[in-house]
Every structure is written in structure tokens, then in C-alpha cells.
Amino acid sequence: MAYQDTQLTRQQSQVVSTNKVLRNTYGLLAMTLLFSAVTAGAAMAMGVERLNIFVFFIGAYGLMFLVHKTANSAMGLLATFAFTGFMGFTLGPILNAYLALPNGAALVMNALAMTGLTFIGLSAVALVSKKDFSFLGNFLMAGAIVLILAMVAGLIFQIPTLMLMVSAGFVLFASAAILYQTSEIVHRAGETNYILATITLYVSIYNLFVSLLTLLGIMSSD
């Protein structure tokens, strides 16, 4: 009887802890997305040109490294907003380029709506079904390597078909990452730090939005 009570108490404690991580993660995610929108708007208003690809990678991965190093301290929150603010700022020139197209506003709004619906839908699947998607971990690791190599090849050789395939691949990769990360929180298999969980979901949403925008732009008559 005492053993059963202990097990029940442990399960209840785990549920409370999981709910806390989910609440903190989605709360911080909402704030970082809003902050990114502000920095993107600032970049658009200032007419900032698109960053050099090497500057982008140095800034993005440098700040991401800082987030991981400080995730267990108060500095982790500052690093998170620095990273997401930078990523939002880099979106400004991209959005300006699309909005300059005759059908640009519709493309941006459609990509934004599709990103939001995809994130909500995939999160609901992971939360409601409570299925363990940890098996996606190996797929994500292999997929990241393939996509990075394909992206570099696309930048070097400027092959339109390859860039289309890379964008489609990033859509699938980001979708799988959302399922995996949400499942990790629910099952507490590997993610109890809400800052790291937020960054993973943020990057997935960022990649999903940019990739959908690219695909819609390629398919558009404009």
C-alpha cells in the first residue's frame, strides 16, 4: 500500500513538473516570437540589406551556443532574447524582398498562417495523443546533416530544383522537430529545461516559416 502511494505521489509530481515546463516553454516562446516580430519590423523600417551568409551563421550559431552555455542561469533568458531578436532582425530584409512582389503580402500572410496552423496541429498531436516521438531523434540528426550539405551545395551551384528540395526538406525537418521536442517535454525523456525547449521550438518555427515562404514564392506566378 505504501509502495502504491509512493508511486502515485511520484506520478503526480511528474505531471505537475511537466505541466510547469510546458507552461514556461509556451510562455517564453510567445514572448520571443513577439520580440522577433518587433526586431523584424525594425529591420524592415530601416531598410536593412540581407546579411552576408557567413555573418548570419556566425551570429546565429554563436548566440545559440551562448544560450546553451547559460541555459541554467538567469543569463539564459537574456541570451534567448538576444538570439531570437537577431533571428527576427534577419527576417526583415527577407520580408521586404517578398513584400516588393505584386502578390508579396498574400505570400507572407499565407506562409504565416500555414506556419501557425502547422505548429498548433503538431503540438496538439503530441500533447493529446501523448505518443512518444523519441524515435525521431535519429532522423533529425541525419536530416540536419543532409540538409546542411544540400543547402551549401545549393548556395554554391545555384540550382533552383535543389533549393526547392531543400526548402521542402526543411518543412519536413521542422515539423518532425516540433513533434520530437513536444514529446520530449511530455515524457520527460530528455528535456526539462524550458529555455532549451523554447529555443528548439523557436528554430523549428523560424525554419518552417522561411521554408514555406520560399516554397510559396517559387510556386507563385510572381
Contact at 8 Å (CB) between 192 and 13?
no
Identity of residue 108: V
Q: In percent, how much of the chain has pLDDT > 70?
A: 86
Q: What's the chain's Rg over C-alpha atoms?
A: 19
Q: Supply the pLDDT for residue 16.
A: 57
Please report, to the nearest 10 degrees, the dihedral formed by the alpha carbons of residues 128, 129, 134, 138 taken in order.
Answer: -100
Q: Work out the average pLDDT over 64-68.
A: 93
pTM of the model: 0.85
Contact at 8 Å (CB) between 81 and 36?
no
Q: Supply the pLDDT for residue 3.
A: 45
Contact at 8 Å (CB) between 44 and 92?
yes
Confidence label for 14 from pLDDT (cuts 50, 70 and 90): low
Q: Supply the pLDDT for residue 5.
A: 46
Average pLDDT over the chain reads 84
- Residue 167 and residue 87: Cα distance in Å, rounded? 18
- Residue 171 and residue 167: Cα distance in Å, rounded? 6
Range among 15-24, 177-186, 201-210 with highest mean pLDDT value? 201-210
Asked if the model's pLDDT at residue 46 lies above 60, the reply is yes
Q: Supply the pLDDT for residue 8.
A: 44
Asked if the model's pLDDT at residue 48 lies above 70, the reply is yes
Least confident of 17-26, 74-83, 89-98, 120-129: 17-26
Burial of 174 from C-beta contacts in 10 A (0-12 / 13-18 / 19+) = buried
Least confident of 31-45, 77-91, 107-121, 129-143: 129-143
